[in-house]
Structure 1
Amino acid sequence: MIKSPWEGKLARNMYAGSILEIFIVTAVTTVLTIRFFLGATGYPQVSGGGFHIAHVLIGGLAMLISILILLTFLGSYSKSLAAVLGGFGFGAFIDELGKFITSDNNYFFQPTIGLIYIAFVLLFVLIKKISSRSYLTEKERQVNLLEISKEAVLKGDEAYGIQMARSILKRSAAQKACLKGSNETTGCLDEIPDLPSLLSPEPKVYAAAKTRAESLYSWMIGRRWFIQFLIAFFLLNSLISLIEVIYLTIGIQNAVFWAIFALASLGVYRAIVSGTSTMKKIVYILILMILALILPFTILGLTLPSLPLADWLRLGFTALAGSFSVAGILTIRKDRLKAYHLFENSMLIYIFFVHVFDFFDIQLYELFDLFVDLVTLMGLRYMINQEERKESVIGNQTNKE
């Protein structure tokens, strides 16, 4: 068996995903804040005496501090702090990309925002690839177990850390390796004290925040307004994206018409899948066909535009993302987890395909749109994890019975 040259040298952190997400969100926020501040203040410069201090230097200093923190301190707090400082530094650095790829040091070089966007998307893909827990080896899981135990000692909250460590053992093949492996591994597990009956009465900030977030989510999913909010949010997001893309490609008249058509299509689809009589279904379909085929080209005088391939792809990906959102809306009352996955697919299509084309027209606004979609995607990931945990608990209880 061929071994990786990094085996025995590098081990991935199973919680790296959340830390790296802090990094990328901070970086995107930094770029938006810098661009907004400079635009609002007339692009001031910190200079004098022949010197000019570019904010790329501030970014470099922040990244240096983040590296020193990682090399000097232990624990999850130092990693989170380094992620924030490193994200700020990277955002300040990449914001000045235009100066380093043009001969005249042009900060306003038009393709810069698009290149920044592509860099963030590639970084996001890399982060998800690196932080995927499904690819962790047994040795990496054992190393993570030891890291969690050390974190518990550092925080003085051994009960919380031990509970997490044991959950890792139960859910991975590392349990067998620890129980049947070397004496050193077995010995380290024997050193872990028994789990107390109650957790610390004064949990640490992270543990308290996590507990409150889980309680808040459990409370919200039991409220009717939360599902209605999700439906309204993703429906409006799809409609706004559709109107925006149609407006940028084939004009405002088409944008308004096709937005109305999309709403009508959703209503017809719901009527078809419901218990409506066959005659009513036929009438609804005929109305939709008239709306799509006759009204725009006769009464409204609209014509099919002659668009380049890029614009047709843009429209197609927007429609595809919207269809996933609609599918999630129609599914959410029956199966939340499935609906969340459909919404997640919609967000991924917007991030990786739709926004790429939009950047050529609306540059900085689209970077803000990317930030909103990334935050939405992280929220969906959190809700998916919560639902999967609940299903896992229910499955374990069923197996015990």
Structure 2
Amino acid sequence: MFRTPLTNGFLRTASAAAHLRLFVLVGVVTVLVTRAFLALTDYPKLGGGAGKGGLHISHTLWGGLLMLAGLLVMLVFTGTASRRRGAVAGGVGFGLFIDEVGKLVATDGYFYRPAPGIIYLTFVALTGLAWRVTRTGCADRAVPSGATRAASAADTALQGILCGLTPQERSEALRRLRATGEPATEVDAALVALLEAVPERPAPRPDPYHAAARRAYAWLVTQVSGTRGLVHVVACGTTLQAGVLLVAVTCEGLTGGLAGETQWTAIAGALASSLASLVLAVRGTALLRRDPGAALRTLRAALLVDLLLGQVFKFTINQFSGVADWLISLALLYVLSLQVTHRQATRPQAPVSPTALTAR
């Protein structure tokens, strides 16, 4: 019988990374939709006015209630469906809650200028957590421990008891259970019997619209990753993005446009991160001809400096008008990541020398 002394009973579900990403995505969309709606409706106050004795129901309250609802769904019900619904409800609730962080940290209230930067930094931290869970989950699947593979199989079997398993789900669970090649334990044998005994559910019929969207996305990925000229577009875009802020701040300073500015810390941080990103982008562009691999890594570093550090200060300065700049940086990083993946997939394998074969 295996033991799990290092986990103390905490084992990640197979869908942990996917549900974390769903939580973050729903939270980001909730913040953007809430800000857009309030701006279009001139910031109405639910419940009346804000005068003396007036009733105002802040959407922080609704956010807390939705986070509670998501938590209760995951505590009371079991299975992947409950975790997915809990992630959606919790994401909406967290988005409503964090949108009013200005009221919680400053007397300026909802329009506290650093609030967008704080919100962005919060979601960056959550995205980093989801990335970490994804990497750890991939490592666990590559070399699964006895407890991990048994718990994953048990989770799938439990879902099968509730609503059945498709043939693909059953075979995948059995494959994970036997992935290590170690001698089967009594628990393994019991889980195999359970997986084979749960009712079968027919595979869902493919949605033609979903299938068409998947084919279109696959075609787009193939075109983007296979077009080497896009690397130069990404290099130019990264360089321009970093340089535009430096030029804009310089012009504002020379013309007196910064006379009434109060967020000097954010301006200094944005300038420093833009300068670092610009240096990396110029170096990456210069390396494109000599060393494409190093150029891609340097350009990715330039975009990561902007996304992980620079955008925090830009949101503080520009408020939510900086969303367009953020989306451009994300698009550039995505195109660059596809190029890196394509380069790694098409890299020729080094030939194995006869000496190495003899040593084996």
Query: TM-score with structure 2 length normalisation?
Result: 0.69
Task: Provide the residue aligned with 2:110 in structure 1.
Answer: 107
2:170 corresponds to 1:162: yes
Q: Note if contact 2:153-2:176 (Cα within 8 Å) is conserved in structure 1.
A: yes
Residues 239 and 381 of structure 1: CA distance in aligned 2, closer, same or farther (over 3 Å) = closer
State the 1:166 CA deviation. 4.0
Matches within 5 A, 1:207-226: 215-223=215-223
Task: Provide the residue aligned with 1:148 in structure 2.
Answer: 156
Matches within 5 A, 1:51-62: 51-62=55-66
Residues 95 and 224 of structure 1: CA distance in aligned 2, closer, same or farther (over 3 Å) = closer
Residues 222 and 126 of structure 1: CA distance in aligned 2, closer, same or farther (over 3 Å) = closer
- Identify which of 70, 76, 79 aligns with 1:66: 70
- Identify which of 96, 101, 119 aligns with 1:97: 101
Aligned pairs, how many?
Answer: 320
Residues 372 and 29 of structure 1: CA distance in aligned 2, closer, same or farther (over 3 Å) = farther
State the 1:134 CA deviation. 4.7
Q: CA RMSD in A?
A: 4.4
Residues 330 and 94 of structure 1: CA distance in aligned 2, closer, same or farther (over 3 Å) = farther
1: CA distance, partners of 2:339 / 2:96: 31
2: CA distance, partners of 1:158 / 1:80: 19
2:115 corresponds to 1:126: no
2:19 corresponds to 1:16: no
Task: Provide the residue aligned with 2:355 in structure 1.
Answer: none
Task: Provide the residue aligned with 1:285 in structure 2.
Answer: none
2:92 corresponds to 1:88: yes
2: CA distance, partners of 1:59 / 1:12: 26
What secondary structure, in the 3-state scheme, does the structure 2 residue paired with 1:12 have? coil
State the 1:330 CA deviation. 7.1
State the 1:106 CA deviation. 1.5
Q: Note if contact 1:98-1:106 (Cα within 8 Å) is conserved in structure 2.
A: yes
Q: Note if contact 2:153-2:173 (Cα within 8 Å) is conserved in structure 1.
A: yes
2: CA distance, partners of 1:363 / 1:83: 27
Structure 1: runs of 5+ lacking an equivalent: 253-307, 395-401
- Identify which of 304, 316, 325 aligns with 2:275: 316
What secondary structure, in the 3-state scheme, does the structure 2 residue paired with 1:7 have? coil
> Aligned letter for 1:25?
L
1: CA distance, partners of 2:213 / 2:284: 25
1:304-328 per-position Cα deviation (integer Å, ceiling 9, x unaligned) = xxxx974653233322563587599
Matches within 5 A, 1:2-401: 7-48=7-48, 50-102=54-106, 104=107, 106-131=109-134, 132-134=136-138, 136=140, 138=145, 139-169=147-177, 172-173=179-180, 175-176=181-182, 180-193=183-196, 200=202, 202-203=204-205, 215-223=215-223, 227=227, 231=231, 234-235=234-235, 237-251=237-251, 310=269, 313-319=272-278, 322=281, 326=285, 345-367=301-323, 369-370=325-326
State the 1:378 CA deviation. 7.6
1: CA distance, partners of 2:68 / 2:337: 31
Residues 148 and 317 of structure 1: CA distance in aligned 2, closer, same or farther (over 3 Å) = farther
Q: Note if contact 1:149-1:161 (Cα within 8 Å) is conserved in structure 2.
A: no
